[in-house]
């Protein structure tokens, strides 16, 4: 009894509102993305941060999981890489490139830079 | 050859000398594997700490074993016991039920079936590939009748779903009618839903007898080598009152069923009543009753959710025990898993020489290794130490195989930390059949209310690191075990299951009980035992944070299965649906103990206050720390020393989850506040159960309630409590080769608590 084409679920209009909000939020956050906050994050991706960096982090940390950049520990206490979360259960995160990092903090910063770059894009 | 991997689990988690524990192992990519029993001393392999420490224990297990791959089949359903083949009708049939599908668009799903999908033989009421209710009848020789409703089903809506086929006339009917009231469905009666569908068509004649098993919420796909029915085509959603007739009901009769009218029972073969069995302690049973008189009873597989609202939920009564007729539904999920069901690979009869401690079966194949943890308790009534470590196994189960880092968008925001995944997490991503934790959502979006330990649990391993890149649960608790070993302190070990089963009698033999770092999930019997212990001279060191928080049930007949209903309030991954706050396995109300009049403050003087996971902080001494009755705690610690401004869990002793002193919530008035944490970032937020009106500034830099409080007090009968109030506390014990003020304070308290000399009352 083979599967057939599944019916599309009814549209969720909230997505339109969320997309508009997202556009406004990105526009509001872009001026905050300066060398200063990037340096601040590189120095310490955790703990107390400036208001500007906190606002940017609050935005990127609450993004939908699918496609989000995360850190994967590839050799315990030695090596980390950046990967993108899969689009569905049963799939594994995909590494975004071949680069490796020798600290968790450096990998977190690399993921941050990717997220920032995405934020700057339309 | 596939990359080598090895995973396992055990049938028991706590064993005493002389008892047997069986281990189930699955290996991919290797024909043999090596097994050993090891004593676990320290888990965290962080080079900044003591490192991973284990000790091989020579037992009969040691050696090479033949390996094999053992699959897991997730998904819940009901198997019907029909030895006489009464449901093997093949000429005319009616199937009717109420359904609330939750993923009607996911593909073909069996609702009530007796068919062989490969051969297209048998009968099935199902949801088809276009999300429509459909009746399929096949003869296995090419004739397949498929009749579907004309409109797709909507998720979260209750429907009367019926279909019939008259072999004499060739008339097939599909009858679908929304049965929405003000409470039962996602939307209310105001919503303009599709009108009832009555589809009557004349189709070709088909004989649809088959030899398949009858299944609710899926269909039989075959038989395992052990003879078990294998089920596929799992349905997501609720089913209520399914029934089967051996003749065709008319469209009017199906409409009558939709309206709650009972046709005459002529031709009725089965009428399953999922509410049958609800009693004073809930419905802790897999049994499904056939009320037709034909005894075609069924058995739930993989723990679908019972005690859930049915199609007729009126909203007047929220306790299923008080209104069983409105709780005639079962919620099935295609990712439910109670028991991986693997064949045993080896077993251990615990020798008398194995002292009570934390152990694992270490299994290795090539470069792959797994540790299957278990706990050896002393023989009943024969303690071998004055200190008891209570392994919080209910909490380990609650978090078993959680997917927060990959499934939850706000996971990074909760953690204040970029998600850091380990190899174990990647394995869990690739193997969803290993099941979920009570922190996850099922594939249909509903919360996971049961968790079982009869499956591999890669995130309950001695060297596992959590999404924060730090330790959690079992691995974090080994920091305490490592400290006890480093200081040469003898201890016995017992688990939550033991405490739940044996109650106060388990604790009576010990002078001091130690908790783990996060004993969050507690049953009422466990709380009773702890209260009795403390009220009769027992001394407790609560060495963690956010303990004694969620109402937790152990299934009365299945200690491997816990239940948690995340009701209103509490820091929760999901919220139970209206009318579903009561536990199916005990009948008690779920939620946080605070909302049931049993706040953790009443027991340990503190309760959950704030959480954040970016960076841990430190404690500062308070005036009570200099009181002569409490000063023993700080012997050797300077007046102005910061306590725990170091550590392997977030870099400090005050972190992850913090508890606070609060007289209004039941902190005993004689409790002494000896230290408070400070300096937390805004990733630390006040707990949601304390947010009434919302206003800005609930983070660590602005809210005075975002802190951990170290509390000490004496109890009736010479007992005492020391609460460290932070998950990160034990992560600081090993700093500077165990020579630091967190280690000193912990040792000061333990030595004093072990002393027979009475403690001066703090009242």
pLDDT along chain B (763 residues), means of 10: 87 98 97 98 97 98 97 98 95 98 97 95 97 97 96 96 97 98 97 91 95 97 90 98 97 96 92 98 97 98 98 98 98 98 97 97 97 96 96 98 90 93 95 97 98 98 93 98 98 98 96 98 98 96 98 98 96 97 98 98 98 97 97 97 98 98 98 98 97 96 98 94 98 98 98 96 89
- Chain centre distance of CA B513: 25
Give yes or no: residues B326 and B406 share one domain.
no
Nearest to A65 among B128, B411, B463 (CB): B411
Nearest C-alpha of chain A: how many angstroms from B106? 6
**Angstrom distance (rounded) from CA B681 to CA A47:** 6
Nearest to B409 among A45, A58, A65 (CB): A65
> Does B682 contact A80 at a Cβ distance shorter than 8 Å?
no
Nearest C-alpha of chain A: how many angstroms from B503? 40
Nearest C-alpha of chain A: how many angstroms from B155? 9
**Angstrom distance (rounded) from CA B574 to CA B566:** 7
**Angstrom distance (rounded) from CA B636 to CA B640:** 12
Which residues between 299 and 358 in chain B have a beta carbon less than 8 angstroms from any beta carbon of chain A? none
Residue B761 lies in a domain: no
Does the CB of A72 have a partner CB in chain B at under 8 Å?
yes
Nearest C-alpha of chain B: how many angstroms from A82? 9
Does the CB of B607 have a partner CB in chain A at under 8 Å?
no
**Angstrom distance (rounded) from CA B669 to CA B723:** 15
Spell out which residues of chain B touch residue A2, defining contact as CB-CB under 8 Å.
108, 129
CB contact set of B396 (below 8 Å; sequence gap of 6+): B453, B457, B460, B473, B474
Cβ atoms of residues B157 and B180 within 8 Å: yes
- Chain centre distance of CA B282: 18
Which residues between 142 and 201 in chain B have a beta carbon less than 8 angstroms from any beta carbon of chain A? 152, 154-155
Chain B, nearest residue to A9 by Cα: B105
Give yes or no: residues B716 and B567 share one domain.
yes
B171-178 and B709-714 as β-strands: parallel, antiparallel, unpaired?
Answer: unpaired
Nearest to B430 among A2, A49, A90 (CB): A90
Give yes or no: residues B111 and B161 share one domain.
yes
Give yes or no: residues B425 and B486 share one domain.
yes
Give yes or no: residues B565 and B438 share one domain.
yes
Residue B337 lies in a domain: no
Nearest C-alpha of chain B: how many angstroms from A58? 7
Q: How far apart are the first and last CA of chain A?
A: 44
pTM above 0.95, yes or no: yes
> Does B409 contact A45 at a Cβ distance shorter than 8 Å?
no
Nearest to A77 among B47, B219, B407 (CB): B47
3-state secondary structure of B534: helix
Give yes or no: residues B564 and B617 share one domain.
yes
Cβ atoms of residues B455 and B16 within 8 Å: no
Cβ atoms of residues B159 and B176 within 8 Å: yes
> Does B406 contact A65 at a Cβ distance shorter than 8 Å?
yes
Residue B378 lies in a domain: no
Domain boundaries of chain A, sorted by first residue: 14-120
Structure tokens at B695: 């206003």
Chain B, nearest residue to A108 by Cα: B418
Nearest C-alpha of chain B: how many angstroms from A83? 10
> Does B105 contact A9 at a Cβ distance shorter than 8 Å?
yes
Among the listed residues B310, B270, B324, the one whose alpha carbon sits nearest the alpha carbon of residue B160: B310
Residue B594 lies in a domain: yes
Does the CB of A88 have a partner CB in chain B at under 8 Å?
no
Structure tokens at B372: 């299957």
Burial-class residue B66 by CB neighbours within 10 Å (0-12, 13-18, 19+): exposed
Spell out which residues of chain B touch residue A111, defining contact as CB-CB under 8 Å.
418
Give yes or no: residues B204 and B280 share one domain.
yes
Which residues between 658 and 687 in chain B have a beta carbon less than 8 angstroms from any beta carbon of chain A? 681-682
Does the CB of B106 have a partner CB in chain A at under 8 Å?
yes
Does the CB of B128 have a partner CB in chain A at under 8 Å?
yes
**Angstrom distance (rounded) from CA B475 to CA B715:** 31
Give yes or no: residues B605 and B657 share one domain.
yes
- Chain centre distance of CA B177: 35
> Does A4 contact B426 at a Cβ distance shorter than 8 Å?
no
> Does A104 contact B469 at a Cβ distance shorter than 8 Å?
yes
Chain B, nearest residue to A11 by Cα: B154
Does the CB of A51 have a partner CB in chain B at under 8 Å?
no
**Angstrom distance (rounded) from CA A45 to CA B631:** 39
Residues making up chain A, counted from first to last:
122
Report the CATH number at residue B116.
Answer: 2.60.120.200
Give yes or no: residues B576 and B676 share one domain.
yes
Q: How far apart are the first and last CA of chain B?
A: 69
Dump strand ranges (E) for B167-235: 171-178, 197-202, 215-216, 219-223, 229-232
Q: How large is the ipTM?
A: 0.94
**Angstrom distance (rounded) from CA B631 to CA B660:** 20
Work out how many domains chain B is built from and give that number.
3
Nearest C-alpha of chain B: how many angstroms from A34? 20
Cβ atoms of residues B734 and B484 within 8 Å: no
Residue B3 lies in a domain: no
pLDDT in the model for residue A6: 42
DSSP secondary structure code for residue A88 in this structure: S
Domain span holding position B51: 15-70+343-371
Does the CB of B458 have a partner CB in chain A at under 8 Å?
no
Nearest C-alpha of chain B: how many angstroms from A42? 13
Chain B, nearest residue to A77 by Cα: B46
**Angstrom distance (rounded) from CA B228 to CA B243:** 24
DSSP secondary structure code for residue B248 in this structure: P
Does the CB of B423 have a partner CB in chain A at under 8 Å?
yes
Give yes or no: residues B65 and B81 share one domain.
no
pLDDT at A7 over 60: no
Does the CB of B737 have a partner CB in chain A at under 8 Å?
no
Give yes or no: residues B477 and B568 share one domain.
yes
Chain A, nearest residue to B684 by Cα: A47
Does the CB of A1 have a partner CB in chain B at under 8 Å?
yes
pLDDT in the model for residue A8: 59
Residue B696 lies in a domain: no
Structure tokens at B387: 């200190």
Does the CB of B377 have a partner CB in chain A at under 8 Å?
no
Q: How many residue pairs bridge chain A and chain B with CB atoms within 8 Å of each other? A: 130
Backbone phi and psi for residue B315, each to the nearest 5 degrees, phi listed first: 80, 0
Chain B, nearest residue to A82 by Cα: B420
Spell out which residues of chain A touch residue B426, defining contact as CB-CB under 8 Å.
72, 92-93
> Does B412 contact A111 at a Cβ distance shorter than 8 Å?
no
Which conformational region is residue B92 in: left (phi greater than 0), alpha (psi within -120 to 50 degrees), or beta?
beta
Chain A, nearest residue to B469 by Cα: A104
User: What is the CB neighbour count within 10 angstroms for residue B569?
Assistant: 16
Does the CB of A68 have a partner CB in chain B at under 8 Å?
yes
User: What is the CB neighbour count within 10 angstroms for residue A12?
Assistant: 9
Give yes or no: residues B25 and B119 share one domain.
no
Task: Give residue A63's pLDDT band: very low, low, confident or very high (50, 70, 90).
Answer: confident
Does the CB of B443 have a partner CB in chain A at under 8 Å?
yes
pLDDT at A9 over 80: no
CB contact set of B154 (below 8 Å; sequence gap of 6+): A10, B104, B186, B193, B194
**Angstrom distance (rounded) from CA B1 to CA B69:** 13
Residue B692 lies in a domain: no
Does the CB of A11 have a partner CB in chain B at under 8 Å?
no
């Amino acid at each position: 009894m083979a599967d057939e084409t599944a019916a599309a679920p009814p549209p969720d209009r909230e997505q339109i509102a969320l997309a508009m909000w997202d556009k406004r939020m990105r526009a509001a956050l872009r001026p905050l993305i300066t060398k200063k906050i990037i340096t601040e994050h590189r120095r310490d991706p955790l703990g107390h941060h400036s208001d500007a960096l906190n606002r940017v982090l609050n935005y990127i940390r609450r993004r939908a999981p699918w496609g989000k950049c995360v850190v994967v520990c590839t050799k315990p206490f030695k090596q980390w890489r950046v990967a993108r979360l899969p689009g569905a259960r049963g799939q594994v995160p995909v590494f975004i490139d071949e680069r490796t990092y020798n600290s968790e903090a450096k990998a977190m910063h690399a993921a941050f830079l990717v997220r920032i770059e995405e934020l700057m894009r339309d | 050859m596939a990359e080598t991997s090895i995973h396992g689990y055990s049938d028991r988690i706590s064993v005493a000398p002389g008892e047997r524990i069986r281990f189930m192992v699955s290996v991919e990519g290797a024909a043999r594997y090596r097994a050993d029993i090891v004593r676990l001393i320290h888990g965290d392999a962080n080079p900044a700490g003591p490192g991973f420490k284990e000790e091989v224990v020579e037992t009969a297990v040691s050696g090479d074993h033949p390996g094999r791959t053992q699959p897991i089949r997730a998904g819940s359903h009901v198997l019907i016991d029909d030895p006489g083949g009464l449901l093997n009708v093949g000429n005319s049939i009616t199937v009717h039920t109420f359904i609330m599908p939750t993923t009607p668009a996911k593909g073909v799903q069996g609702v009530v079936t007796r068919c062989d999908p490969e051969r297209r033989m048998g009968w099935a009421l199902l949801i088809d590939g276009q999300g429509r209710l459909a009746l399929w009848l096949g003869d296995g020789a090419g004739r397949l009748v498929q009749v579907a409703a004309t409109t797709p089903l909507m998720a979260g809506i209750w429907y009367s779903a019926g279909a019939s086929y008259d072999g004499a006339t060739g008339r097939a009917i599909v009858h679908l009618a929304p049965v929405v009231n003000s409470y039962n469905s996602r939307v209310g009666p105001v919503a303009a839903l599709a009108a009832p569908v009555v589809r009557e068509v004349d189709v070709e004649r088909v004989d649809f007898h088959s030899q398949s098993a009858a299944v609710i919420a899926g269909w039989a796909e075959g038989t395992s080598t052990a003879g078990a029915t294998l089920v596929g085509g799992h349905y997501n959603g609720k089913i209520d009152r399914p029934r089967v007739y051996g003749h065709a009901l008319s469209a009017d009769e199906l409409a009558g069923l939709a309206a709650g009218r009972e046709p005459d029972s002529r031709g009725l073969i089965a009428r399953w009543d999922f509410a049958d069995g609800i009693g004073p302690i809930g419905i802790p049973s897999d049994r499904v009753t056939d009320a037709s008189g034909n005894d075609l009873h069924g058995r739930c597989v993989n723990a679908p959710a019972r005690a859930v609202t049915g199609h007729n939920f009126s909203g007047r009564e929220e306790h299923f025990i008080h209104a069983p007729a409105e709780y005639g539904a079962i919620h099935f999920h295609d990712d439910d898993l109670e028991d991986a069901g693997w064949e045993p690979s080896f077993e251990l009869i615990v020798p008398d020489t194995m002292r009570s401690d934390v152990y694992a079966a270490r299994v290795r194949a090539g470069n792959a290794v797994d540790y299957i943890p278990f706990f050896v308790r002393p023989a009943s009534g024969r303690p071998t130490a004055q200190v008891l470590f209570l392994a919080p196994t209910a909490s380990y189960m609650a978090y078993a195989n959680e997917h927060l880092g990959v499934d939850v968008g706000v996971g990074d925001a909760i953690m204040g930390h970029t998600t850091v995944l380990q190899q174990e997490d990647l394995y869990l991503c690739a193997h969803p059949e290993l099941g979920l934790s009570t922190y996850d959502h099922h594939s249909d979006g509903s919360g996971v209310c049961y968790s079982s330990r009869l499956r591999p649990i890669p995130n309950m391993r001695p060297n596992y690191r959590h999404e924060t890149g730090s330790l959690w649960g079992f691995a974090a608790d080994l920091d305490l075990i490592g400290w006890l070993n480093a200081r040469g302190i003898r201890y016995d070990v017992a688990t939550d299951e033991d405490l739940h089963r044996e109650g106060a009698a388990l604790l009576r033999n010990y002078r001091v009980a130690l908790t783990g770092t996060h004993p969050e999930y507690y049953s009422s019997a466990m709380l009773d035992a702890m209260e009795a212990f403390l009220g009769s001279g027992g001394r407790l060191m609560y060495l963690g944070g956010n303990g004694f928080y969620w109402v937790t049930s152990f299934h009365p007949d299945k200690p491997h299965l816990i239940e948690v209903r995340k009701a209103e309030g509490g820091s929760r991954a999901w919220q139970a649906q209206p009318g579903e706050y009561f536990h199916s396995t005990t009948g008690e109300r779920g939620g946080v103990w605070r909302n049931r009049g049993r706040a953790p403050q009443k027991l340990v003087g503190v309760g959950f206050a704030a959480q954040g996971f970016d960076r841990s902080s430190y404690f500062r001494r308070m005036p009570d720390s200099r009181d002569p009755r409490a000063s023993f705690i700080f012997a050797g610690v300077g007046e102005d020393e910061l306590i725990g401004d170091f550590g392997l869990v977030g870099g400090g002793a005050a972190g992850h989850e913090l508890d606070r002193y609060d007289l209004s919530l039941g902190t005993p008035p004689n409790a002494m506040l000896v230290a408070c944490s400070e300096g937390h970032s805004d990733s630390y937020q006040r707990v949601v159960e304390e947010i009434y009106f919302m206003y800005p500034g609930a983070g660590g830099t602005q809210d005075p309630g975002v802190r951990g409080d170290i509390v000490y007090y004496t109890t009736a009968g010479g007992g005492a409590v020391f609460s460290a109030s932070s998950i990160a506390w034990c992560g600081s014990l090993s700093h500077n080769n165990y020579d630091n003020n967190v280690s000193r304070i912990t040792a000061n308290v333990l030595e004093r608590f072990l002393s027979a000399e009475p403690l001066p009352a703090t009242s």
